[in-house]
């Protein structure tokens, strides 16, 4: 089964509910603990897991994830160590790696795609990949059966949304609000329209992320028509503060999973 097929199967097995996709930072707070966190996500209801590779200038990420990346890098995190984490987690649940473009370009798209396959990863999210450079990335990932998952925002123009949606593989990462990742106090305004607009421009499932920090927000996002719900900063905060990060994150993930049933 290819990576694209694994992602497709994860969405097809939802049985009338939205797929839950927790985000974790590889090598945070350390490599071994991050593996335990990913496996705990899988054991507590995650349908897929997004594995972030630490980067020094994560433009799409808010302060919680930015600080986690900084700490991981300070502790010696590398791309190779991050892929070891992804490989371990991939044995339990389909994974999608989130990686900034400079880290990929230093290796080359073909070489990076081969590394992802070796790690058992199913797809790649590259939030700062310009649409104009996507064909090279798409060709390399397509050749290895991997999904290139693009991001769209409420502010994405219609013409650009159509082009991005046509190139999407696996799912379309739909940002609920303009800005960076992070926890917010309430549901995004107009999320129904955001989801409807995204779905009208792609043939793959629409997964919504950014700012979803409570089970109630996850449930309302699913009710708005999202086929997937992505949780990030809430889980990273739990990993940063808990005495037993993997157990604590697993309990939070279970709460989100229960809200989507």
Angle between helices 79-90 and 31-43 (to 10 degrees): 30
Tokens of 33: 């603990």
Catalytic pick from 5, 31, 32, 61?
Answer: 61
30 catalytically annotated? no
244 catalytically annotated? no
Cβ–Cβ under 8 Å, residues 188 and 211? yes
3-class DSSP assignment, residue 81: helix
What whole-number distance in Å separates Cα of residue 97 and Cα of residue 110? 16
Catalytic pick from 50, 115, 227, 238?
Answer: 50
What whole-number distance in Å separates Cα of residue 228 and Cα of residue 231? 10
Q: Which residues are CB-contacts of 167 (< 8 A; sequence separation ≥ 6)? A: 134, 138, 148, 150
Q: Active-site positions?
A: 50, 61
């Amino acid at each position: 089964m290819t990576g694209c097929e694994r992602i497709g199967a994860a969405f097809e097995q939802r049985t009338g509910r939205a797929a839950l996709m927790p985000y974790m930072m590889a090598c945070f707070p350390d490599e071994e603990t991050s593996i335990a966190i990913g496996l705990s996500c899988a054991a507590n209801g995650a349908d897929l897991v997004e594995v972030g590779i630490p980067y020094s200038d994560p433009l799409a990420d808010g302060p919680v994830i930015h600080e986690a990346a900084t700490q991981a890098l300070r502790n010696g995190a590398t791309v190779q160590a991050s892929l070891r984490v992804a490989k371990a987690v991939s044995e339990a649940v389909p994974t999608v790696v989130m990686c900034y473009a400079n880290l990929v370009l230093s290796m080359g798209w073909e070489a990076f795609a081969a590394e992802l396959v070796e790690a058992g990863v199913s797809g790649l999210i590259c939030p700062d990949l310009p649409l104009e450079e996507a064909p090279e990335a798409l060709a390399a990932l397509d050749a290895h059966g991997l999904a290139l998952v693009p991001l769209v925002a409420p502010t994405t123009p219609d013409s650009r949304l159509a082009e991005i949606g046509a190139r999407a593989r696996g799912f379309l990462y739909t940002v609920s609000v303009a800005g960076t990742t992070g926890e917010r106090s309430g549901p995004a305004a107009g999320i129904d329209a955001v989801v409807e607009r995204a779905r009208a421009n792609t043939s793959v499932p629409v997964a919504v992320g950014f700012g979803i920090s409570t089970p109630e927000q996850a449930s309302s996002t699913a009710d708005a028509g999202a086929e997937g719900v992505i949780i990030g900063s809430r889980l990273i905060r739990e990993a940063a503060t808990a005495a037993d990060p993997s157990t604590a994150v697993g309990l939070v993930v279970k709460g989100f999973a229960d809200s989507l049933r």
